Amino acid sequence: MTDTEARPTYKYVGTRPIRHDGLDKVTGKARFAADLNMTGQLRAAITRSPHAHARIVSIDTSAAEAMPGVKAVVTGADFPEIDIADAIHDEAVNNIARDEVLYNGHAVAAVAATTLAQARAAAAAVKVEYEELPAILSIDEAIADGAPLANPTTRTLFTGDTEPSNFASIGQFERGDVEAGFAAADVIVEREFTTVPVHQGYIEPHACVADCGQDGKASIWASSQGHFAVRSKTAAILGWSTDRIKVTPAEIGGGFGGKTTIYLEPIAVRLSQKAGRPVKLAMTREEVLRATGPAPASKISLKIGATNDGELTTLAGTMYYSNGSTKGFSALTGAMSVASYKFPNLELHAIGTVDNTPKSAAYRAPSAPQAAFAVETLVDEIAQQLGMDPIELRLRNAVVEGDPTAMGMPHPKIGFIETLEAIKSSDHYNSPVPEGAGRGFATGFWFNIGEQSSATVNLNEDGTATVITGSPDIGGSRASMALMAAEELGLDVHRITPIVADTESVGFTDITEGSRATFATGMAVVNACRELIEKMKERAAVIRGVDVDQVAWIGGAAVIEGPASEGNEPLTIADITAQAKMTGGPLTATASLNAAGAGPSFAAHLADVKVDEETGQVTILRYTTAQDAGTAIHPAYVEGQMQGGSAQGIGWALNEEYIFDASGEMENASFLDYRMPVASDLPMIETIIVEVPNPSHPYGVRGVGETGIVPPIPTLANAIAAATGVRMTDLPMSPPNVLKKINEK
């Protein structure tokens, strides 16, 4: 079901063709990084820290080097020292430890050998002498008075401090008069919420193959969300210029933000350089969970005031977010994501902390789900206390174009109201709540971003086309690129081949993140197609011997207009390309841009849940999501993003968590005990695509990848409250935690 504002009629945009890369993926031919094999390839393995925090006293690699099949061993000493002020410092140190190990699982050394078994055996034989240091394992420990330093290289962002600190960042947003706002409020609700780290949970472990030649140049095949970033980061960590590295994107088996950072490539390149052979380096699942990813833990104290007639007047609070072992922006991003309601009075303190858990990484709408858990739970309680319908309360306070976000910047054109209305008129909302169940509702918001993209469109001799971009395709974006090119050119979508090219074959393109690929890279594709159309009009003018201003592009063909139209049939793309040699050569166009005007996307979710009050188990009976996509280029993959985001949010809400023992070792580093939703845990996820076009994009696209993960946590918390009367404030809402709250009732 799609709610659509009046818009132009499109021939291709908005259809659901079979994706171009689909066949390879259903037949097993698609090549992910770990599927690649080079002649003479070695396999590599990493030695990881068994301590959460320790000084590296010494590393003895001699025994490992002497083992059968071993061709190269590297440690932190094989990489250049990087100044702590350098932007790449934290990621460099996260790739391989230098003076200190900062979390259990931190890479210390790596081995390349003829076989994987040999590499693993040798990695285990690297002798590291550690001097254990006090480990900080939580936000509370990090901020405690006199707490030892988790990472001596951390300086607090935005403060100018030059001394090391466990505070990663300190920020504040204010508007209006919070004190007066609460004084005038009729209803005030206040709670503290905590969340634990969760992993992105992509099914493909990180992997790459690196081949460094004797000329000092390296080729890398990597699964990443941005191969240009793999190039620049690898070069920076190695101290190389970027021209020494070529990165070819392999198919990527899920990222969700977690493959915007790198972990393996510099190590694989150094091993390959030392061994003079290609090296494949892939993580195990245990390594993925111990040493990559997570979304940050948080602790949020929030207070909201409202008037009896349902105006949300005042919001105040403090948001702590952990960044894991290095500094980061997670707290700031969390506070920034508080942007759904007008709140004339607002005061938010955003404090990031550092500890000895894995360095946190982006995860789909980073930091927003934690904040939404707090805000949307309290808004639900206000609706409950005022006896108002939860959607009506939100409609009364929803931001529209021009209203400020927490940062103060005005929202551009947005579709929050339309999204709320979509749920209000849904079949689900208008059906009775099942016997014994509870219904929960909540909303979410994400900014989305633009950034830099490049695209080249080549017309082939027979009038088919190739669309070349630099945006790794995670969820079907190649099909979206082809659809937009099809619409522009008037060419059947399956006469267009969309590909993602290596770093030497297409212009620079930023990472696939911030829901930007279809928006920004799509815009580059559109621009390139428009340039091609101008060129084709010129060629048509030459062919027909008319002035170019007499040529129009209509329905995928050059149409001669005016007096010369008589007897001149329209020239199709194939007609024009067939004569390209005589009219000026091949037809190709390239466009690059730094996209502005990313369209924020709102989502609203509705869930019916049943809670077993004797076991604490939550069963989701029905789940509906509505989200503003701007324009859905390929609606099936928009729905897929909404459903996938919902499922991840549901997992985060109910059962996913990092469990650390007292020493900081992750106890559940497996898919058995890191409990992501399985098929039998979920109902169908009903989708309503709302389309309020983004005026900054030629087709009105808003990013859709991220917002879907924001509402599920409060949606389920509110549903559990409706079912049981118990307000869940700590994640996960797993059976033991839910039962504990029920027992306390």
Partner 1 sequence: MISRTHVHCTVNGDEVDFLADDATSLLDALRDELGLTGAKEGCATGDCGACSILVDGAVNCACLMFAAEAEGHEITTVEGIADGDHLHPLQQVFLEEAALQCGICTPGVLVSAKALLDHNPNPTEAEIRYALAGNLCRCTGYDKIIHAVQEAAVQLNGASK
Partner 2 sequence: MRYAAPTTVDEARDLLTGNPGSRVFAGATDLIPQIRAGRPEPSVLVDLKRIDQLVSITESDGRWTVGAATPTSALTGNDAFTAAFPGLSEASGLIGSDQIQNRSSWGGNLCNASPAADSVPALVANDARAVIATGDGTRTVPVEEIVTGPGQTSLADGEFVVEFEVDAPPAATADAYLRMIPRTEMDIAVAGAAVRLTMDGDTCTAASVVLGAVAPTVIRVPEAEAALVGSTLDDDTLAAVAAAASAACDPIDDKRGTVEYRRQVAGVLAKRAATIAAERAGGAS
Q: Is the dihedral of CA 169, 174, 177, 183 positive or negative?
A: negative
| Nearest to partner 1 of 17, 164 (CB atom) | 17
Select the binding partner of residue 366 from partner 1, partner 2, none (C-beta < 5 to 8 A, by kind). Answer: none
With binding defined as CB under 8 A, does residue 647 bind partner 1?
yes
Strand ranges in 505-641 using DSSP code E only, listed in sequence order: 551-554, 557-560, 571-572, 588-595, 601-611, 618-628
Residue 204, interface with partner 1 (CB under 8 A)? yes
On the question of a cis peptide bond just before residue 695, with omega within 30 degrees of 0, the verdict is: no
Which residues in 251-289 are b (16+ Cβ under 10 Å) and which e? bbbbbbbbbbbbbbbbbbbbbbbbbebbbbbbbeeebbb
Q: 3-class secondary structure for 411-452? A: CCCCCHHHHHHHHHCCCCCCCCCCCCCEEEEEEEEECCCCEE
Residue number with CB closer to partner 2 (9 or 680): 680
Cβ-based nearer residue to partner 2, 317 or 677:
677
Cβ closest to partner 2, residue 70 vs residue 589: 70
State which of residues 67, 148, 671, 737 lies at the interface with partner 1 (CB under 8 A).
671
> CA 74, 77, 79, 85 torsion: positive or negative?
positive
The token pair that represents 61 in the structure block: 């690699």
Residue 662 as a binder of partner 1 (CB under 8 A): the answer is no
Whether residue 616 contacts residue 607, with contact meaning beta carbons closer than 8 Å, is answered with no
Among 182, 221, 256, 660, binds partner 1 (CB under 8 A): 256
Q: How many residues bind partner 1 (CB under 8 A)?
A: 60
Please report, to the nearest 10 degrees, the dihedral formed by the alpha carbons of residues 319, 321, 327, 328 taken in order.
Answer: -80
39 lines the binding site for partner 1 (CB under 8 A) = no
Structure tokens at 502: 């290596």
Q: Report what 444 binds from partner 1, partner 2, none; CB cut-off 5-8 Å by kind.
A: none
In angstroms, rounded to a whole number, what is the distance separating the alpha carbons of residues 31 and 668? 30
From the list 31, 55, 581, 740, which residue makes contact with partner 1 (rule: CB under 8 A)?
A: 31
Identify whether the C-beta of residue 278 lies closer than 8 Å to the C-beta of residue 44: no
**By the rule CB under 8 A, 640 interacts with partner 1:** yes
Bridge partners for 410 per DSSP: 404
The answer to whether residue 25 forms part of the interface with partner 1 (CB under 8 A) is yes
Among 63, 66, 203, 596, binds partner 1 (CB under 8 A): 203
State phi, psi for 105 to the nearest 5 degrees. 110, -10
| Dist. CA 478–CA 497, nearest whole Å | 9
Instruction: Give the integer Cα–Cα distance in Å for 554 and 550.
Output: 12
Which is nearer to partner 2, 57 or 678 (by Cβ)?
678
Among residues 3, 14, 35, 249, which is the contact residue for partner 1, using CB under 8 A? 35
Q: What is the dihedral of CA 91, 290, 255, 244, to 10 degrees?
A: 40
Q: What mask of x and - would describe binding to partner 1 in positions 105 to 134, judged by CB under 8 A?
A: -----------xx-----------------
Nearer to partner 2 (CB atom), residue 700 or residue 732? 732
Residue 284 or residue 301: which is nearer to partner 2 going by CB? 284
Q: Is 643 in the site for partner 1 (CB under 8 A)?
A: yes
Q: Return the HEC string of 123-149.
A: HHHCEEEEEECCCCCCHHHHHCCCCCC
3-state secondary structure of 248: strand
Our finding on whether 682 is near partner 1 (CB under 8 A) is yes
230 phi, psi to nearest 5 deg: -60, -40
Choose from partner 1, partner 2, none: what does 201 bind? Cβ within 5-8 Å by kind.
partner 1
CB of 712 to partner 2, least distance (A): 16
691, containing H or E segment = strand 685-691
Q: Which of the listed partners (partner 2, partner 1, none) does 403 bind, with a CB threshold of 5 to 8 Å by partner kind?
A: none
Rounded least distance, CB 715 to partner 2, Å:
19
* Binding site partner of 114, from partner 2, partner 1, none, Cβ cut-off 5-8 A by kind: none
Nearest to 202 by CA among 224, 181, 220, 219: 224
Site for partner 2, rule CB under 8 A = 124, 284, 286, 614-617, 654-655, 659, 667-668, 671-673, 675, 677-678, 680-681, 734-736, 739-740, 743
Please, what is the minimum distance in Å from the beta carbon of residue 26 to partner 1?
Answer: 4
Site string for partner 1, 683-702 (x = CB under 8 A): -xx-----------------
Which residue number, 453 or 646, has a Cβ lying nearer to partner 1?
A: 646
Residue choice 678, 736, 744, 745 for contact with partner 1 (CB under 8 A)? 678
Stretch that binds partner 1, among 47-55, 189-197, 577-585, 642-650 (CB under 8 A): 642-650
Of 636, 663, 665, 729, the residue at the interface with partner 1 (CB under 8 A) is 636
Burial level of 509, CB count in 10 A (0-12/13-18/19+)?
buried
H or E segment and range at residue 249: strand 245-249
Residue 147, contacted partner among partner 1, partner 2, none, CB below 5-8 A by kind: none
Interface with partner 1, residue 672, by CB under 8 A: yes
Shortest distance, position 681 Cβ to partner 2, whole Å: 5
**Shortest spacing between CB 287 and partner 1, in angstroms:** 11
Q: How far apart are CA 92 and CA 522, in angstroms?
A: 32
Only one residue has tokens 């939703």, namely 677
308's contact among partner 2, partner 1, none, with CB below 5 to 8 A by partner kind, is none
Contacting residue, 4, 7, 15, 30, with partner 1 by CB under 8 A: 30
User: Residue 32, interface with partner 1 (CB under 8 A)?
Assistant: yes
CB 73 within 8 A of CB 309: no
474 binds partner 1 (CB under 8 A): yes
Contacting residue, 6, 57, 662, 679, with partner 1 by CB under 8 A: 679
Could you say which of partner 2, partner 1, none residue 655 binds, taking C-beta under 5 to 8 angstroms by partner kind? partner 2
490 binds, among partner 1, partner 2, none (CB under 5 to 8 A by kind): none
Name the token pair of 598. 């990313």
* Residue 652 binds partner 1 (CB under 8 A): no
Given candidates 249, 470, 475, 507, which one binds partner 1 under the rule CB under 8 A? 475
Residue 21 makes contact with partner 1 by CB under 8 A: yes
The 8-class DSSP code of residue 157 comes to B
- Give the 3-state DSSP-derived string for 338-394, with helices as H, strands as E and coil as C: CCCECCCEEEEEEEEECCCCCCCCCCCCCCHHHHHHHHHHHHHHHHHHHCCCHHHHH
Query: Which is closer to partner 2, CB of 67 or CB of 564?
Result: 67
Binding to partner 1 (CB under 8 A) within 212-251 occurs at: 251
Which residues are near partner 1 by CB under 8 A? 16, 18-19, 21-32, 34-35, 37, 116-117, 200-205, 251-256, 282, 284-285, 474-476, 634, 636-637, 639-640, 643-648, 670-672, 676-680, 682, 684-685
